[in-house]
Structure 1
Amino acid sequence: ETIKLQTIAETLETLAHHPIDGVYTSARAVVEKEVLAGVRARLLALDLGVEVLRFAIRDVHAPPEVHAAFRDVASAQEDKQTAINVALRYQVETVNLARGDAAREVEIARSFQDAEVKRATGESKSLDLRSEAFRERPVGNRKRAYLETMEEILANSRKIIRPGWKGSGGVDLWISPREGTPLPMGEVLRGSEIRQAERTPAGGE
């Protein structure tokens, strides 16, 4: 009987601090929690050696005239909370995806940076070695650099080679046929003359 009276007293005191509309709709769980804490404190003060484990409001409704309206309000508040939960879940998923994408982009940028640094370091070392070799043999390396540059420039272009008025002198030109190894220009020209002679009938012009 003492527990019952203390529970009723605590319930009435708690309800006095909450709007009745909230008790009918969304504040029921809050009221139950506060009443349970208050009853436990009262029984502890009385030193009854009894502990209340749970308190629940089983049946509380608005007057029949407005019961349907309160039920609609409670349903709307539940829908609102559901929408909030869905939005929060979407927010968390979106943030996590964005963080993952950002981390991936950072890793890609770091990999590209490392590759560029290594490439630049390699080119720098190669340039240092070439510069050192050039300083050791400036004349020969200057000529080699010139020949390599001309080879790169003239590789895919048509060329007309015209010796000076004194002739080719000691210049020996080599011509690369479509198949096989390069041949001296003299042999290529002689082969062309032989093939031309074979195609020309005897006594013909």
Structure 2
Amino acid sequence: MPWKDNEGGPWGSKGGASGGPKSNNGGNPWGSTGGGTGGGNFDDIIKNAQNKVKSILPGGKKGFILIAIVVFALWMVSGFYTVGPEEQGVVLRFGKYIETSQPGLNYHLPAPIEKVTVVVVTTTRNIEVGFRKGVDRGGQSLMRNIDDESLMLTGDENIVDVNFVVQWYVGDAADFLFNVRSPERNIKDGAESVMREIMGRTNIEFALSEGREQIRQEGQEMLQEMLDSYNAGVLISSLLMQRVDPPQTVIDDYRDVQRARADKERFINEAEAYANRIVPEARGEASKLIAESEGYKAQVIARADGAAQRFISVYNEYVNAKEVTKKRIYLETMEEVMKNTEKIIIDDASGRGVIPYLPLPELKKRSSSNQSGEVR
């Protein structure tokens, strides 16, 4: 056969180099186990690796110690870390909370002994309840209402659409990380629950008008108390009421009702203003008439009293001197009667035996002119 001359089968000669003596490798098809051209075994590979390491570290054990010291120093230096001015660092030792580090350069035992989680604590974050803000394809901002969150039942069994924003920040980083699994979800659910509770004992008229500020303040306080009971490490900085309106399906009808009520209030106010103006005027006029009547009454009574007293005095004089009193009364009466009439006096002594001439037309003209002058 063609391979008989090899005496080693198809893998070649059992000996060394070509034509050499037979090897003692027992017919190993991988070649000689010696140091010939067939290659070294596994022990040789390990010795070669050791020789290479010794060539790199000529100091022997001292070199290994030096490397260990350098590696340990680098490991210890890796424990330095920096906390920003808006952050807090939470230090964990084998997963257990140890302390909270403040802003600046800090140190912790390197991993895997201790680990630091840095939390931003001063940044104000917003949570929208009842709506979501977004941007359309044209870059314009838009707002989408979430009816499941915004529609709430009031105390007088009406439905109101409420949108508000909760602004919050982290007060305690450790509580924020470990006491609540999903802080933002808890804040959102808590805010919605608090707002529903407040609306459930508030009338719709109060909620839509002057009660918004009171609802906002009360909601913020109740939400903070709830989160404090959870030790959530969250502080509510503000609760902003965005919109409190009736549902969109009935808002037009509701506004008509509101306008009618506003007109009613306006008419009532105008009527009250008119009454407030007319009633005092009428009362003043009545007081004036009463005062004038009282004055007239006093005047008439005084005049009657005076006339009565004069009559009594005249009567007393008449009783004492009848003739004198009669003549005096006669003269006073004639004086009162004759003072406004045109008089012509004729002396009997000088006109005896002569018919007097009386210019009656001239006297009449004079009397008419006097009367017209008095009228003017």
Confirm or deny a common fold (TM above 0.5). Answer: yes
Task: Name the structure where helix makes up a greater proportion of residues.
Answer: 1
Q: In terms of Rg, which structure is larger? A: 2
Write the mapping of 1:43-122 to structure 2, written as runs, cut at 5 A: 58-122=242-306
TM-score after normalising by structure 1: 0.56
Mapped to 2, the partners of 1:40 and 1:191 lie a distance apart of: 126
Aligned length: 157
The percent identity for this pair of structures is 18
Q: Report SS of the residue matched to 1:63.
A: coil
Contact (CA 8 Å) 2:208, 2:245: kept in 1 or not?
no
Relative contact order (C-alpha < 8 Å, sep 6+): which is higher?
1
Contact (CA 8 Å) 1:7, 1:35: kept in 2 or not?
no
Distance apart, 1:11 and its partner CA? 4.4
Mapped to 1, the partners of 2:305 and 2:295 lie a distance apart of: 15
The verdict on how the C-alpha distance between 1:186 and 1:132 changes in structure 2, with shifts beyond 3 A counting, is same
Amino acid paired to 1:187: S
Mapped to 1, the partners of 2:191 and 2:286 lie a distance apart of: 56
Amino acid paired to 1:29: S
Mapped to 2, the partners of 1:116 and 1:41 lie a distance apart of: 78
Distance apart, 1:40 and its partner CA? 9.8
Superposed CA RMSD: 4.2
Matching of residue 28 in structure 1 with residue 205 in structure 2: no
Give runs of ≥4 in structure 1 deviating > 4 Å: 4-11, 36-43, 55-58, 148-152
Mapped to 1, the partners of 2:249 and 2:283 lie a distance apart of: 53
Amino acid paired to 1:28: L
TM-score after normalising by structure 2: 0.33
Contact (CA 8 Å) 2:208, 2:244: kept in 1 or not?
no
Matching of residue 125 in structure 1 with residue 309 in structure 2: yes
Distance apart, 1:133 and its partner CA? 1.2
The verdict on how the C-alpha distance between 1:130 and 1:9 changes in structure 2, with shifts beyond 3 A counting, is farther
Q: What per-residue deviation string (whole Å, max 9, x for no partner) do you get for residues 41-85 of structure 1?
A: 969x99x9xxxxxx9854122222222111111122111111111
Amino acid paired to 1:104: K
Contact (CA 8 Å) 2:194, 2:219: kept in 1 or not?
yes
Q: What per-residue deviation string (whole Å, max 9, x for no partner) do you get for residues 107-166 of structure 1?
A: 211221222122122212212221221122124324544x459848x96xxxxxxxxxxx
1:202: which partner in 2?
none
Pick aligned residue for 1:16 from 171, 182, 200: 200
Mapped to 2, the partners of 1:186 and 1:142 lie a distance apart of: 27
1:183: which partner in 2?
346
